[in-house]
Amino acid sequence: MSVEITAGPPDTTSPEIAEAVDAAERVLTRRLGAQVRLADPEALGGTGRSVVIRVRVASSPFSMPRTLVVKRYPAGTGDRDPWAHEAVSHQLLTALPAEERATPELFAHDATSRLVVLEDLGRAPRLSEKLHAKDARAAERGLLSWAHAMGRLHATTAGRDADFDALMRRAGAQCCQDPIAVDVHAAIAGLPALLGTTLGVETSPQATEFAADAARAFSTSRRRAFSPSTSCPDNHLVTSRGVRFVDFEGGCVRDIVFDAAALRVPFPSCWCGWGLPPGMSEAMVAAWRAEVGSVWPEMDDDAILLPRLLEAQLLWVWLATWRALSKPMPTVDNAPPRSVVLAGRWVRLRSDALILGEKTVASHADAVIGALADRYGAEVLELPLYPAFR
């Protein structure tokens, strides 16, 4: 979730915003032991799963930043609690040295009020803004900065599973699982039938086995570090100190290559993906490798990394397809039709599988691509580039 202002005047009169301000004042006052007053709430962009506001620190007996960001969640549902993932992620990352932190500093959090109070990173542009502007070099720098930041985040949080799980238990979370991993297993089980009923594509046992083996390998991998989980370009701020990550509703510890595959897809967890110019994804993967190589030197070996990247890429594409076919695919504002985005992911998967000689994956991708073209028209295979690269 971005902390940038959306179009239109901010709504500062809603009961939800007033309640968030009051709750943040109580939490900060209790934490500091003296009255803190907040003022001038400014509604920030979001997805509707939480209230996100920028507030001015109007009164405090202690030295504090001029402004803060407050993020408050409604009650959790089922086995997923976005507040717990958000709060625990910020606890884990705020403990890092300031020079190694690619995230806002956590000032306070409270389970009863279900909020976090964060450093305000200001009005830095989102990565999505760079990609939709007219400056190709600025967009390229933003993408490479994102890849470097992801690699540094992985390197600085290597092996923090036990710390993350302990913080989740302390937060009272019922489940510490990676939300994406849960959905990946559901996609492996459910996608073959969906492909058959909706597109008339038969999934071979070999393709299903390849996906299942990949999922098992990622769940048992020892190359693990913190992951923001979401890869949407709206959730990355391009600051003077590099890209900063700002949304951790699904934050977790997972295999680092699963995140690295997001540099290839790209942005596999959202539907705002356009095409990238030739070689851009490879440059991004190289930037990520430059950061993680000191911790995992085997990532410099193509024979080790590239097959794992393809496996992760397949899982992301299966997950996206399962989500798309499970419910209607409405058009996303300022993005190609979802059918075009989906077809583009399968086309890239087929290409990368052929390069590695993975005929099972390439053949399955080819069948899906043909079925998508039959259903939506041949134009579905023409994924346009981000505006910055046209």
Q: Give the Cα separation of 33 and 170 in Å (integer).
A: 23
Q: Is a pLDDT exceeding 90 seen at residue 81?
A: no
The pLDDT of residue 15 is 87
Q: Give the Cα separation of 165 and 88 in Å (integer).
A: 9
Q: Give the Cα separation of 109 and 122 in Å (integer).
A: 20
Torsion of CA 81, 110, 146, 259, to 10 degrees: -30
Mapped onto helix, strand or coil, the DSSP state of residue 188 is: helix
- Asked if residues 35 and 61 have their Cβ atoms less than 8 Å apart, the reply is yes
Task: Count the residues in the chain.
Answer: 390
The pLDDT of residue 371 is 97
- Asked if residues 55 and 43 have their Cβ atoms less than 8 Å apart, the reply is no
From residue 48, give the alpha-carbon distance in Å to each of 227, 237, 273: 22, 19, 21
Kindly give, in sequence order, each residue whose CB lies less than 8 Å from that of residue 285, ignoring residues fewer than 6 positions away.
147, 260, 263, 264, 309
Q: Is a pLDDT exceeding 90 seen at residue 383?
A: yes
Q: Which residues of 50-70 are buried (b: 16+ CB within 10 A; e: fewer)?
A: bbbbbbebeebeeeeeeebbb
Q: For residue 49, what pLDDT band results from cuts at 50, 70 and 90?
A: confident
- Asked if residues 124 and 102 have their Cβ atoms less than 8 Å apart, the reply is no
For residues 208-236, average pLDDT = 92
Beta-bridged to residue 116, according to DSSP, are 71, 109
Most confident option among 35-49, 65-79, 195-209, 245-259: 195-209
Q: Give the Cα separation of 234 and 226 in Å (integer).
A: 19
Which is nearest to 1 in space by CA: 77, 78, 79, 90?
Answer: 90
pLDDT higher for 14 or 379? 379
Q: Which sequence spans correspond to the domains of the chain?
A: 15-119, 127-389
Q: For residue 149, what pLDDT band results from cuts at 50, 70 and 90?
A: very high
DSSP code at position 99: G
SS3 content of the chain, % helix, strand, coil (to 5): 55, 15, 35
Angle formed by the axes of helices 179-194 and 205-220, nearest 10°: 180
**Radius of gyration in angstroms for the set of CA atoms belonging to the chain, rounded to a whole number:** 21
Percent of the chain with pLDDT over 90: 75
Mapped onto helix, strand or coil, the DSSP state of residue 206 is: helix
Task: Determine phi and psi for 37, rounding to 5 degrees.
Answer: -115, 135
Could you say which of 3.40.47.10, 3.30.300.90, 3.30.200.20, 3.30.565.10 is the CATH number of the domain covering 15-119?
A: 3.30.200.20
pTM for this one? 0.91
- Asked if residues 225 and 299 have their Cβ atoms less than 8 Å apart, the reply is no
Which two structure tokens, joined as six digits, stand for 170? 């302390």
The pLDDT of residue 77 is 56
The pLDDT of residue 78 is 55
- Asked if residues 105 and 165 have their Cβ atoms less than 8 Å apart, the reply is no
Q: Give the Cα separation of 269 and 251 in Å (integer).
A: 13
Q: For residue 271, what pLDDT band results from cuts at 50, 70 and 90?
A: confident
Beta-bridged to residue 239, according to DSSP, are 242
What is the fold of 127-389?
Answer: Aminoglycoside 3'-phosphotransferase; Chain: A, domain 2 (3.90.1200)
